[in-house]
Amino acid sequence: QVQLQESGPGLVKPSETLSLTCKVSDVSLHTNSFYWGWIRQPPGKRLEWVVSMYYSGSTYYNPALKSRVTMSVDTAKFQFSLTLTSVTAEDTGVYFCVRGERGQQVISVFEHWGQGSLVLVSS
């Protein structure tokens, strides 16, 4: 059973960079059968897709966040990471790491989710 676990600081100052890591268990990242990524949920608001990436390096972004987002995969450490630069209070929320399986669409649904990591942007 695939398990994903987010980690990272719970508090980030405005204008600084948010960094999160997702540790993956019981599955290899060394495959293009799956895509990995991040989805966030501001308090009381709808889910928002942030970014998805394949092992090959193909990366797909939410256009609204693309200029500030970087995602990377470290197969040796069984983890992938998210960085979001120049954060504001609008970036506060729970960040979920996710996995989906490649199908007819390059990115479609997300079958596996981490439990989520709460990030507060505040001075």
The neighbour count for residue 4, using CB atoms within 10 Å, is 20
Q: Which of 3, 12, 2, 4 is nearest to 118 (CA)?
A: 12
Q: Are 102 and 32 in contact (CB under 8 A)?
A: yes
Contact code string over 43-82 relative to other proteins, x by CB under 8 A = ---xxxx--x-------x-xx-------------------
Using the rule CB under 8 A, is 113 a contact of other proteins? yes
Residue 11 to residue 97: CA distance in whole angstroms:
18
- Binding residue for other proteins, selected from 73, 114, 119, 121, defined by CB under 8 A: 114
- Binding residue for other proteins, selected from 57, 109, 122, 123, defined by CB under 8 A: 109
Closest to other proteins by CB, 105 or 123: 105
Residue 121 to residue 123: CA distance in whole angstroms:
7
Structure tokens at 21: 């890591």
In whole angstroms, how close is the CB of 30 to other proteins at the nearest point? 21
Contacts to other proteins by CB under 8 A: 46-49, 52, 60, 62-63, 96, 105-111, 113-116
